Each structure stands twice: as C-alpha cells, then as structure tokens.
C-alpha cells in the first residue's frame, strides 16, 4: 500500500511526532497509572490521523469501538463455536464494522466528487495505481476497517512492553532520554532525519519487539511442496511460525534471554540473516505498516523517556495474556512517572 511505504511515512514524521509529545505531556505524574488504555488512546489518534488526516476526528470514535469489538471477540470462553454461529460477540463486531463503514462511505464519496483526494492513506487509495487501476468503492470500504484497527492495536501491545523495559532498565532509559533531548522543541518540526538519529532508541524498540513480539504466532500456506528443517511440507499445508521462540534461539541471537539493545548497534552481534527478526513478519507478506509502527513507537519512547523516569509500583508482576488473534499483551501493567530534572 503506497501510503504505508517507508518513504511515505518518512515524509509525514512531523504529523506523527506531536501526538507522541502530547502523550508524554499528559501522563499523570506521581501516581500509579494503568498503561495500556493510555497508550492505546494516543496510538489510535496517531494511526487514524495518519490514515485519514482531517477526517480522523469523525472516524476515531468508530475505530475505538471496532477495536473494542475485537477485544470482546477474543475473550476466553468455555465454548468453541462454529464459524457460522452468530454469537453475541460476533454480532457486536459486525455492528461496529458496519458503523465504521457507514461513517467512512460519505467521506470516500465526498473526496471523489470534489476531486480533493488528500495526501493521506485514504487519498492514495482513491488514486488509480498502475497495478490495480481505480479501486472500487467497496474494495476500499472492505479494506480500511482492518487496517485502521491494526495501526494502533499491535503497536499498543508493543508500547506496553517498551515502557515496562524503560522502567526496569534506567540506564537504557537515560540513553534514550539523551538522544531525545536533541529533538526539536516543536514536535511538528521533527523530520525523518531527526528520527534516523535516534539510533539507540530504535535499537531499544527492536530489542523489546524481539523479546516480546506482539504477534507471537504467524501462519503461512505452502504454495508448493517443499522441505523445511528436514520435514516435507505438502502444497496447501498451513505452517505455524512462532516469532517468540525464534527470537530466543541462541543460534541466531547471542544471550537470547537478555535485554541488550546494543546487539542492534554492534555489527558483530547484530543478527544479519534475513528472517531472524520476525516481529513484522518477513518477505513479500510482511507487515505493510512496519515503517509506521516503528516511527510511532520510536517517537513515543523518545518523548516519554525525555520527560520522565518510569518505575514499577509494588504489587504483582504484569502477566502475559496470549491469544491467537490478539497476541502477546502485558496485562495489569501499571507504572509511575516522575519528571526528569
């Protein structure tokens, strides 16, 4: 998708950075805060804004309810219902998807009729491409609900783990803060050049994604018979790939259970083989939103560390919540922020 390519994301860093700064500005200090709802709200604002720019305020409430519908759908149940069964959770999800589509449809028609398509992701989808030509309205409406939720659903899970590691590793947080101090005072003036200079911050984000890949289980279908690790995979077979275990393989990552962001900066220790870092998948079917997610997470991490020391309050450790749809989430994560001096 053209609007999610790395060069497209790089051109719009100045639109992403202000929301990341507002998140840091609004964090309540001196009290224990449940992190995930706070992070999810700001990343939804960034993601929906990136997709729809001036139309984002109209669509943000519908996107939030669509996310809630997915949350309801993956809650643990004593029963496994057939796919065709219209359970209450499935009906709720359908209603929210219809509501989002009904809110988006007039925006699509207004932009097309006025000729002011916009430079955001929706605008790129409304323009003809050399490969697909002009996309039908229904194709756009069918595609965007899933993309919209994906722009903040998975990054929110990742951000929770990142903030937890900032709290547990104050020296690493200090290095991030030192890099972030060189960002422009006006977040809107942030460019891709500034983002590229946050090398340690990006390494820290990648290291957390290695240890806690939000999408812990990937599926791929074999298009032809092949051999994999001594096993014969028949054409049409579904192969399950677990990034969580692959990322902790000592054959590919030295000291795989250790939090060591420097591994991504040190040429002798940085994994060089294609496919050893799977947090965004790999190959032609890798995550299209990887560049946007990395930009969001890097700026959020930098702005938070720039302003605050984070700490864990006394109490139980955050627990893993693992589902095949929702991924790997730090449940019960609470942190306390104090201003850096």
Closest CA to 96 of 137, 149, 152, 56: 149
Q: What per-residue confidence (pLDDT) applies to 228? A: 87
Q: Could you count the other beta carbons within 10 Å of the beta carbon of residue 264?
A: 19
From first to last of the 341 residues of the chain, give the pLDDT tens digit: 889 999 999 999 999 999 999 998 888 888 999 999 999 999 999 999 999 999 999 999 999 998 888 776 666 666 677 777 888 778 888 899 999 999 999 999 999 999 999 999 999 999 998 888 899 999 999 999 999 999 998 899 999 999 999 999 999 999 999 999 999 999 999 999 999 999 999 999 999 999 999 888 888 899 999 998 899 999 999 999 899 999 999 988 999 999 999 999 976 555 567 778 999 988 888 889 999 999 999 999 999 999 999 999 887 777 666 655 556 777 788 999 999 98
Closest CA to 199 of 253, 266, 135, 111: 266
Q: What per-residue confidence (pLDDT) applies to 283? A: 82
Q: What per-residue confidence (pLDDT) applies to 312? A: 92
Q: What per-residue confidence (pLDDT) applies to 284? A: 82
pTM of the entire predicted model? 0.91
Q: What per-residue confidence (pLDDT) applies to 88? A: 79
Backbone phi, then psi, for 142, in 5-degree steps? -75, -30
CATH class of 2-214+289-339: mainly alpha
Reduced 3-state DSSP string for 80-148? CCCCCCCCHHHHHHHHHHHHHHHHHHHHHHHHHHHCCCCCCHHHHHHCCECCCECCCHHHHHHHHHHHH
Q: What per-residue confidence (pLDDT) applies to 129? A: 86
Per-residue tokens: 162:
């990142």
């Amino acid at each position: 998708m053209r609007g999610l390519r790395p060069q497209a994301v790089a051109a719009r860093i100045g639109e992403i950075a202000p929301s990341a700064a507002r998140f840091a500005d609004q964090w309540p200090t001196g009290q224990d805060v449940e992190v995930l709802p706070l992070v999810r709200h700001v990343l939804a604002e960034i993601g929906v804004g990136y997709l729809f720019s001036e139309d984002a305020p109209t669509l943000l409430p519908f996107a939030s309810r669509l996310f809630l519908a997915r949350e309801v759908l993956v809650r643990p149940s004593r029963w496994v219902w057939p796919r065709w069964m219209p359970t209450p959770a499935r009906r709720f999800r359908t209603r929210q998807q219809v509501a989002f589509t009904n809110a988006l449809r007039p925006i699509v028609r207004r932009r097309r009729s006025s000729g002011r398509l916009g430079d955001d992701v929706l605008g790129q989808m409304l323009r003809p491409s050399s490969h697909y030509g002009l996309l039908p309205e229904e194709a756009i409406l069918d595609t965007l609900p899933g993309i919209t939720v994906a722009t903040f659903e998975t990054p929110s899970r990742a951000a929770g783990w990142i903030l937890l590691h900032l709290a547990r590793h104050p020296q690493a947080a200090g290095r991030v803060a030192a890099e972030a101090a060189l960002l422009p005072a006006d977040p809107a003036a942030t460019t891709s050049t500034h983002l590229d200079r946050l090398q340690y911050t990006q390494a820290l984000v990648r290291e957390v994604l290695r240890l806690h890949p939000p999408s812990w289980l990937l599926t791929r279908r074999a298009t032809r018979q092949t051999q994999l690790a001594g096993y014969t995979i028949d054409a049409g077979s579904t192969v399950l790939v677990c990034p969580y275990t692959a990322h902790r393989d000592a054959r590919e990552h030295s000291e795989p259970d250790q939090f060591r962001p420097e591994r991504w900066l040190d040429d002798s220790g940085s994994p060089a083989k294609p496919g050893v870092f799977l947090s965004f998948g790999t190959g032609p079917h890798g995550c299209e939103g990887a560049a946007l997610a990395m930009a969001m997470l890097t700026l959020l991490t930098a702005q938070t560390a720039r302003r605050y020391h984070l700490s864990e309050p006394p109490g139980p450790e955050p627990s893993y919540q693992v589902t095949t749809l929702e991924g790997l989430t730090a449940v019960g994560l609470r942190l306390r922020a104090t201003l850096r001096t």
